[in-house]
Chain A
Amino acid sequence: MNDIRRGDAMLTDWRAAARRFEAALAGAVLGQEAVIRLVTIAVFARGHVLLEGDVGVGKTTLLRAVARAMGGAYERVEGTVDMMPTDLVYHTYLGEDGRPRIEPGPVLAASEDLAIFFFNEINRARPQVHALLLRLMAERSLTAFNREYRFPLLQVFADRNRVEREETFELPAAARDRFLMEIGMEAPRDAATRRALAFDPRFHDTDRLVAGIETGILDPAALAGIAAAIQHGVRASEAIETYVVALWEALVRPHAAGIRLPGIDDMAGLVQGGASPRGVAALVRAARVRAWLEERDWLVPEDIRAVFAPVMAHRVFLEPIHEMGRAEIVPALCRALFETVPAP
């Protein structure tokens, strides 16, 4: 009993920290409350995040702000066409004496304390680099200098430009599946926010903006423990389990669930696969964190709905003919799911 109460108190304290974390981010990145909430959920679900959006909407600023607010060791690389996996792991240069030197690269520099690895413009990097990320993200480990490095605290943030397709490489399905969330970021619509973003000099200098954020709000070393406590502390009733399984089934076989989308004749063959068990497990993990942030210790359908699109949409693979239109089809499919599958 004592134990549980201590756990409860710990969860409450951490919830306050999460609120401070969100507030700190909201101070730096205006009008992105929904994205900030999703990033917070990903942080407490210990999942990797892929931010996707237009140029200049603040993807990089947000991720830098997250890194600063969280605290802990932080590394950042920029994706380029000629980047090779070894560029991430090793740093090679000629020493002052003219002899070649090899030292730990960006991933290994902070050694095993690395908390946030920020991959900017991930779709500019080649598939070889994506392949290196697979292991780094799924197992949080890497082999270099003939030994295995472990990164227990690691969380990968990546961002990707949606518009540009020249000189970019689409992420392979396996790599996308390892991101807990793929969050779409839009420029804020609110007129006041837009005015502030355009005219307030505070938002013009990103470095000073990020430097102004309170740092070290969340202790990366303790995050794993608290994430596990959340997962154990939030209960899922039988009804919610049935609901999630029904959603999963309807996502894989929308035709059988009676879902019809306008402009698509062959609903039966629309979804080719990809809604993996790992994806559904991630969905429940993220939903539990959301329930905890909403001060509940049990899941409700709204928790599932709030995280469903960011967690599941990028894991669904459509028939090739519809793949080009996935930006419209997948959100419509997710919406139709929640309009069709009965909650209680």
Chain B
Amino acid sequence: MRPLLAGLLILLAAASATAQPRTVEVRVPRTFGYFLGDLVEAIVEVETEPGFTIQAASLPQPGPVTYWLDLRRVETETAGTRHRLHLTYQTFYAAIDARTLEVPGFPLVLTSADTHGATTAPIQVPAWNLGVSPIREVQPARRADPAEYLRPDGQGPRLDPAPPRTAALALAALALPALLLLARDRAWWPFRPRPARAFAEAARRLRSLARQPDSEAGYREGLLALHRGLDAKAGSRLLADDLDAFLGRHPAYRPQADNLARFFAASRLAFFGNAVAEARCRMPLAEAEATARQLAVAERAA
């Protein structure tokens, strides 16, 4: 009979404890060494049964707590059954010696809202102690030179300059040719903008066309290649009637005047006269290629 009674008592005790918080704890970074005006960060941790939260109305209001202590800020944070209050106090106690003061505790109300109604449980946050100190002049040993109050710098480790220096030199050695390449590409000093080798390009195209099997399309393409070369050299589209003016502006190509005149006549026939056969008879592709090659040679010399 007696063990049964004891078990019943334990059960009752457990049932009554369900509404009770498991723990209430006040944590402060340090409880001593505060001066007038310091902010004191205190954390109140409340571990509750599942479903319980802190009633917002029961939280302490920011404002004066005692004549020497203000509560500045209250923040709550909840993670599962752990509730955390961040309290920021500020002390205005002008201590004349180091002493311990008591920060008063305060009550909180835990609530659990379910379908049957709200269950509330009051808990008490305990008072805790705060050590305050007077603001006093520090009195180190007297020194003649005020600079000597400064403590010497700590010794840093000695670094080896050799590897970074080697790397810097190697990279500089790499950067120089890269800069040269860039300068050449952008035609910076000492490189000058190179005149485009228009005829060299045309001659190359004609040479590759001459290797291909003979066809009307290939012939027209060859003429076009030389036309594009002449256009590029003249800076505008060169028509047959402009040939004299072009040779006047670029006397280097004058030895090719006859060939160019023949080329333009053939090109006219091929493109506009619908007489490709006659054009090929007057100016075969091989001769056009030879002309382009001569022009390219003159271009390099010019």
Chain A interface residues (CB < 8 Å from chain B): 235, 237, 239-240, 298-302, 305, 338-344
Contacts and interface: CB of A to CB of B under 8 A. Distances in A.
Contacts of B228: 342
B237 A298 contact: no
Contacts of A343: 227, 237, 239
A55 to B, nearest CB: 33
Given A344-B223, A344-B227, A239 B237 contact: no
B239 A301 contact: yes
B77 to A, nearest CB: 61
B271 interface: yes
A237 B271 contact: yes
A298 B271 CA distance: 11
Contact of A298 (B224, B227, B231, B274): B274
Contact of A344 (B235, B271, B274): B271
A334 to B, nearest CB: 13
A339 B235 CA distance: 8
Nearest to A299: B272
B201 to A, nearest CB: 15
A300 B242 CA distance: 13
A283 to B, nearest CB: 16
A338 B237 contact: yes
B236 interface: yes
A333 to B, nearest CB: 14
Interface string B259-294: 000000001100111100000000000000000000
Contact of B239 (A235, A298, A305, A340): A305
A342 B238 CA distance: 9
Given A344-B223, A344-B267, A239 B272 contact: yes
Contacts of B239: 300-302, 305, 343
For the complex of A and B, the 6 pairs showing the least CB-CB separation, nearest first, are A339-B236, A239-B271, A344-B271, A237-B272, A302-B241, A300-B272
A235 B224 contact: no
B59 to A, nearest CB: 67
Given A342-B227, A344-B267, A240 B272 contact: yes
Interface residues of B, number: 17
B240 interface: yes
A277 B201 CA distance: 39
A298 B270 CA distance: 12
Nearest to B223: A344
A249 to B, nearest CB: 15
A239 B235 CA distance: 22
A338 B239 CA distance: 9
A240 B274 CA distance: 11
B146 to A, nearest CB: 68
Nearest to A242: B271
A344 B273 contact: no
Contacts of B237: 338-343
Nearest to A305: B239
A302 B239 CA distance: 7
Which one of A239, A342, A344 has the greatest number of beta carbons of chain B within 10 Å? A344
B267 A235 contact: no
B173 to A, nearest CB: 43
A24 to B, nearest CB: 26
A298 B267 contact: no
A344 to B, nearest CB: 4
A340 B237 CA distance: 6
Interface string B182-212: 0000000000000000000000000000000
Contacts of B235: 339
27 contacts: A235-B274, A237-B271, A237-B272, A237-B273, A237-B274, A240-B271, A298-B272, A298-B274, A299-B272, A300-B240, A300-B268, A300-B272, A302-B240, A302-B241, A305-B239, A339-B235, A339-B237, A340-B236, A342-B237, A343-B227, A343-B237, A343-B239, A344-B223, A344-B224, A344-B227, A344-B271, A344-B272
Contacts of B272: 237, 239-240, 298-301, 344
Contacts of B268: 300
Contacts of B267: 344
A331 B267 CA distance: 28
A326 to B, nearest CB: 22
Nearest to A335: B236
A336 to B, nearest CB: 9
Contacts of B271: 237, 239-240, 344
Given A300-B268, A344-B224, A344-B267, A338 B241 contact: no
A338 B236 contact: yes
Nearest to A236: B272
Given A235-B274, A302-B239, A305-B239, A342 B231 contact: yes
